[in-house]
A = this chain, B = another copy of it.
Amino acid sequence: MASAQDIWCQFPEDVKLAFKKVHKIKRYKRGEVLYRAGDFPQGAYFVASGLAGLTYSSNSGRETLLRLLKPGQFLGHRSLFAGEPYHGSAVLLETSEIHFIPKEEFFEILDRYPLAYRPMVQSLACELRQAELRIASMSDKDVTARVAETLIYLKNVYPEHQWTRREIADFCGSTTSTVIKVLSKLEGLEAIKQDGRAISILGLDTLLELAFQ
């Protein structure tokens, strides 16, 4: 799983300027919601700081963490491009600064600066690879491998975040209970160390071994 792109720093200066002219800046706290599955997109969101997550909650009530958005990434652009309602809800996982670009201005900027397409499309393409490889992981790997893989990924995306057992479970398609059991097994293997709620990686090599067999 390669880390996602920082789109912003790939934009030419004039594109950055154009976005800066039209975006609305707002701060959110953990747990707040940007939009909900089923809503029709009114614009695109850009994570300036903090951490956001795209989640899907099924009929049976199970939550799945579909995607993580760190600073420099867009959110809600998929629905805009597809011309569809949101398929998941956007939730803040950390205190964050979010920029909102109304959809008219969003497309207007893309039309005016076709160069702006590239980083946007590139990130969509990366996200598609990540999603498809996760499908393969889910049908192929046992929980231990999935938790190991997830730990590596999550720590890489946002090392400062205190990842909860629930978030890990929601990301790798398991349950809080099971993740807790796997974590203590990983601690036994000296691959990680748990300090209260904090999890630190001791043996990346061991984790990689477990994750990718």
Contact = CB atoms under 8 A, between A and B. Distances in A.
Contacts of A129: 78, 82, 84, 87
Contacts of A125: 78-79, 81-82, 84, 124
A33 interface: no
A132 B174 contact: no
Given A117-B114, A124-B125, A136 B56 contact: yes
Nearest to A137: B58
A140 interface: yes
B59 A213 contact: yes
Contacts of A88: 132
Contact-size category for A: 35 or more
A interface, over-half SS? helix
Given A84-B125, A117-B117, A127-B128, 19 more contacts: A2-B84, A58-B141, A60-B213, A62-B140, A64-B136, A64-B139, A66-B136, A78-B128, A82-B122, A82-B125, A84-B129, A114-B114, A114-B117, A124-B125, A128-B128, A131-B132, A135-B135, A138-B138, A138-B173
